[in-house]
Amino acid sequence: MEKQSTANTADKAPLISVLVPVYNTQAFLPACVDSILNQTYSPLEVILVNDGSTDDSAALCDAFAARDSRVRVIHQENGGLSAARNAGLDAARGDLLAFIDSDDTIHPEMMARLYQALSSSNAQMSVCNYALVDEKGAMDRQGVQAIRDEVLEGKANILQKLEEDGNWYWVVACTKLYRKELFRTLRFPLGKLHEDEFVIHHVLLGCDKVACISDALYYYFQRSDSITGSAYSLRRLDGAQAQFERARTLLDNGMPPSGAYHACAVGLHVLANSYTRLDVKSPAYQQRYRQLLAQYRQAASRLMKEKLSPLLKVRLWLNARSPYYTWKFLERFLRR
């Protein structure tokens, strides 16, 4: 999209509620909040949700609120990232919403650029690329830049982005500006890993237009002790659940079957990763596996009735019988 001046028009611009879940990020929180308060777009409220931090994060939140009237603080017992985001959603007063993680920072013009893109195209959501920042502060802008300068129209075209390379740029909640009505009845799932995967297809189904900015305006800090960087556990299978639920939702809403098939394939890939990284004989794994397999079979049964190639239907049928043994066969075959 063509860059335009980001000079602030505070008299007419709507309020943006920036929701920041906070949990034990005292070392990163000042830079995060300062980057939000220093935006060239001034009609902002910053909602810091202290999710039961045990370090000095709570005191830092209160100090920011005392220093700047645009900052509001919610203190709650630890409930996880989804619970913190949901608390922010419940408290938000703005017509527009943004999510920022408390160990990340943003470009000074991020909100102004996203708002200009959204308002000029009458879109329900706008999105930008992000850059990775390592623990030494080095920034990588050379990775996959999946977001191009364009305005996407039509639900099917928008949702197709979830099938493309670099689809995680579309999945993450923090690189976007949303009209509040997208979250009127939508909340993040409590207690789940990969919470963004559970939500994004619902958000995109609510969009007729999405405005895209190719510039990396969000700076994603990669921490070795973050949730996604932590040791592999049974919770990783939440990602498979999110994909199978996505397949069902896309089919329920009459979307092209390619999206549901892609979601099923990604969910099976999550399961395949678990075969060598978890104790597949443990009762907890077996119970979770059965639950996920039932979800997959329901989606596969519906996809068998859709317009897909015979090869894809064969894959669906084989995996519905036993994803594990299909994976073992393919692994052995591909090694030859």
Is residue 326 a part of any domain in this protein? yes
**Same-domain check for residues 130 and 279:** no
130 with 277, same domain?
A: no
Same-domain check for residues 180 and 245:
no
Asked whether residue 155 falls in the same domain as residue 269, the answer is no
Taking phi first (over 0 means left), then psi (-120 to 50 degrees means alpha), and beta for anything else, what does residue 123 get?
beta
Q: Report if residue 229 sits inside a domain.
A: no
As for how many domains the chain has, the answer is 2
In a domain, 197, yes or no: yes
Q: What is the rounded average pLDDT of the residues 237-242?
A: 97
- 238 lies in the same domain as 317: yes
The pLDDT of residue 332 is above 50: yes
Q: What is the pTM of this model?
A: 0.91
Q: CA 86, CA 139: separation in Å to the nearest integer?
A: 30
- pLDDT confidence of residue 6: 47
N- to C-terminal Cα separation, the chain: 48
**Dist. CA 10–CA 149, nearest whole Å:** 25
Do 54 and 92 fall into the same domain? yes
The b-or-e profile of 22-46 (16+ CB within 10 A means b, else e) is bbbbbebbeebbebbbebebebbbb
| CA–CA separation, 90 and 207 (whole Å) | 21
CA distance 194 to 242: 8
What tens digit of pLDDT does each residue of 2-15 get?
A: 444 444 444 589 99
In this structure, the answer to whether residues 119 and 212 fall within a common structural domain is yes
Q: What is the pLDDT of residue 141?
A: 66
Residues 135 and 224: beta-carbon distance below 8 Å: yes
Domain annotation covers residue 8: no
Question: d(Cα 98, Cα 278) in Å, to the nearest integer?
Answer: 36
Q: Tell me whether residue 79 is exposed, middle or buried, using C-beta atoms within 10 angstroms of its C-beta: 0 to 12, 13 to 18, 19 or more.
A: middle
Residue that is last in its domain, among 199, 221, 243: 221
pLDDT at 209 exceeding the cut of 80: yes
107-156 tens-digit pLDDT: 999 999 999 999 999 999 999 999 999 877 777 765 557 899 999 999 99
Q: Does residue 89 belong to any structural domain of this protein?
A: yes
Say if residue 336's pLDDT is above 80: no
If asked whether residues 189 and 151 sit together in one domain, one would say: yes
- Report if residue 30 sits inside a domain: yes
Bridge partner list, 201: none
* Domain limit, last residue, from 221, 254, 275: 221
- Regarding whether 191 and 83 lie in a shared domain, the answer is yes
Q: What is the mean pLDDT of residues 178-194?
A: 97
Q: Of the residues 170, 196, 221, which one is the last residue of a structural domain?
A: 221
Domain that holds residue 292: 234-335
State residue 120 phi and psi, 5-degree precision. Answer: -70, -25
Whether 162 maps to a domain, the answer reads yes
Residues 6+ apart with CB under 8 A from 134: 140, 222
Residues 314 and 289 in one domain: yes
327: pLDDT strictly greater than 80: no
Cα-based distances in Å from 85 to 64, 90, 154, 219, 295: 19, 9, 28, 19, 27
Inside any domain, residue 280: yes
Mean pLDDT throughout 289-300? 96
On whether both 109 and 141 belong to a single domain, the answer is: yes
Domain holding 160: CATH number? Answer: 3.90.550.10
Instruction: Tell me, yes or no, whether 211 and 242 share the same domain.
Output: no
